[in-house]
Structure 1
């Protein structure tokens, strides 16, 4: 099953994960590479993956390429609004534009982060 993992964290965390993977490779160990999308903050993530955009992602999951008009029909929204949201999702690397339309090349999304109370 192909899963896209969404994480919160800055460049320090990303560098740490890359360094750990590099050490494994240099030691001759296998590194399991999984698709990951990183956001610097919850607010950044929510700007891209707002509920209306997640509905688009869900409509695309496992469907192959679909036209924007078909995506709009499936989510019950205006084509122009869906086009704007699709453009945002493409620019963020969440979905892809293909010859057959737009697609989410994964079967699901896993959100890997904790939300803590404010200090």
Structure 2
């Protein structure tokens, strides 16, 4: 899958409204951008979710979907409890998908835009 994600950090309501309006206009024209957006209110909020270990987990899961958290922990050589915590956090943020076949990280690209 070739999904793309833009993570926005900070910014104001007007910037978010502009992204929504642009997406709406593209949809009205029948154009699908193929890019999704996720917004964090601050750098602190993003850094609580996206740690180095979680980024490693996302990369691994992108290449190797797992049938369960236990299987993912084994393939990473990490403690089950910590991997479970990471999966919960990344799932809550919308970065990992869970379905009847297991765990998936289907974004081919994640870009981060940080407002100053």
TM-score range, shorter chain: 0.7 to 0.9
Q: 2-side partners of 1:77 and 1:65: how far apart?
A: 14
TM-score for both structures, normalised by structure 2? 0.79
More strand by share: 2
**How many residue pairs end up in the alignment?**
114
Question: Radius of gyration: which is bigger?
Answer: 1
Higher relative contact order (CA 8 A, sep 6+): 2
Unmatched runs of 5 consecutive residues or more in structure 1? none
**Does structure 1 residue 20 correspond to structure 2 residue 29?**
no
What's 1:93 paired with?
A: 94
Unmatched runs of 5 consecutive residues or more in structure 2? none
Off by >4 Å, runs of 4+ in structure 1: 23-26
What's 1:74 paired with?
A: 75
Equivalent residue of 2:86, what SS? helix
1:33 Cα deviation from its structure 2 partner: 4.5
TM-score for both structures, normalised by structure 1? 0.78
- Aligned-residue RMSD, C-alpha: 2.3
